[in-house]
Structure 1
Amino acid sequence: MIERHLDLNEHEGKMRGTTRKNVNISFGSDEDQASPVELLVMSISGCSYGVLRIILENRKITYDSIHVDVDYLMEDAKPNKVTEVAIHFKIKNPSTDIDTLGRVLQQTIKSCTVIQSVKEAIQVNERITIIE
């Protein structure tokens, strides 16, 4: 087992987390802050995006840019659990075809720590589109 630690505290009336790398992240319910739910969804999609980029690099697949659209569904009833996250990768001018990118996406899902951690509770759907 790998053990990790985070600190959470209040700082200037806002929630703040400090990572093991001493990075501070402020979050909460104010208009200018990401909510804990948004951080959860960003963690899922951000992990997937990072893994996707590593796999593309390892396979020497080049591209001009990647844009990621993320939508998520929450239950109407309290506690409004996140039930589904849809991640849409838009890859501009990749040096490969959509079939190869589909296989890369499958490997990405299997290799993403966050998706593997939440997959029993949250349905994660991913797709890739090539844009010109």
Structure 2
Amino acid sequence: MEFNMQEGGFYTDLGFGKLEVSGNEEYGFRPFQLLVSSVAVCSGGVLRKVLEKMRIDFEDIHIKADVVRNEDEANRVEEISLHFMIKGENLDEKKIEKAMKLTRKNCSMVQSVQDSIKIEETFELVSK
């Protein structure tokens, strides 16, 4: 990846399009937003694959991500809480718990930051 400077931040051209990044939301995505998004979406994608491999029928996954930052330490990200709302009929809570453990183990983004950022994952089952 290569990043080019522009007014207010930097950009890179990727296969899907142009990604603009800046500490100021007026000019692009903020770096912490991309970090949290990477962890959340990686986890969601892995969970989706795990559920499919386990042949668990589900309709949708919605993820709520909350972040705790430390203003005294360069506003560093200290905690990311992910809450998965899994929609479907007759979902087995024990099987979902197993899927969540496999998800954490196999998500490259969680594995990359887990020693420096506290990652918490919770879930709830939502009926159709």
- Per the normalisation by structure 1, the TM-score is 0.86
**Alpha-carbon separation, structure 2, partners of 1:118 and 1:11:** 29
Which of residues 74, 90, 99 is equivalent to 2:94?
99
- Residue 24 of structure 1 is matched in structure 2 by 18
Compute the displacement of 1:13 (Å). Answer: 5.3
| Secondary structure of 2:103's aligned partner | helix
After TM superposition, the structure 1 = structure 2 runs for residues 10-89 of structure 1, keeping only pairs within 5 Å, are 10-11=5-6, 14-19=9-14, 21=15, 23-28=17-22, 29-31=24-26, 33-89=28-84
- Asked if the contact 1:63/1:95 (under 8 Å) is kept, the reply is no
RMSD: 1.8
Aligned-residue identity in percent: 29
- Asked if the contact 1:61/1:95 (under 8 Å) is kept, the reply is no
Structure 1 gaps, min length 5: 1-5
Compute the displacement of 1:88 (Å). Answer: 0.4
| Secondary structure of 1:30's aligned partner | coil
Relative to 1, partners in 2 of residues 1:80 and 1:12: Cα closer, same or farther, differing over 3 Å? closer
| Secondary structure of 1:7's aligned partner | coil
- Residue 121 of structure 2 is matched in structure 1 by 126
Structure 2 gaps, min length 5: none
- Residue 106 of structure 2 is matched in structure 1 by 111
Compute the displacement of 1:96 (Å). Answer: 3.0
Task: Write out the 4+ residue segments of structure 1 that deviate beyond 2 Å after TM superposition.
Answer: 10-14, 21-24, 30-33
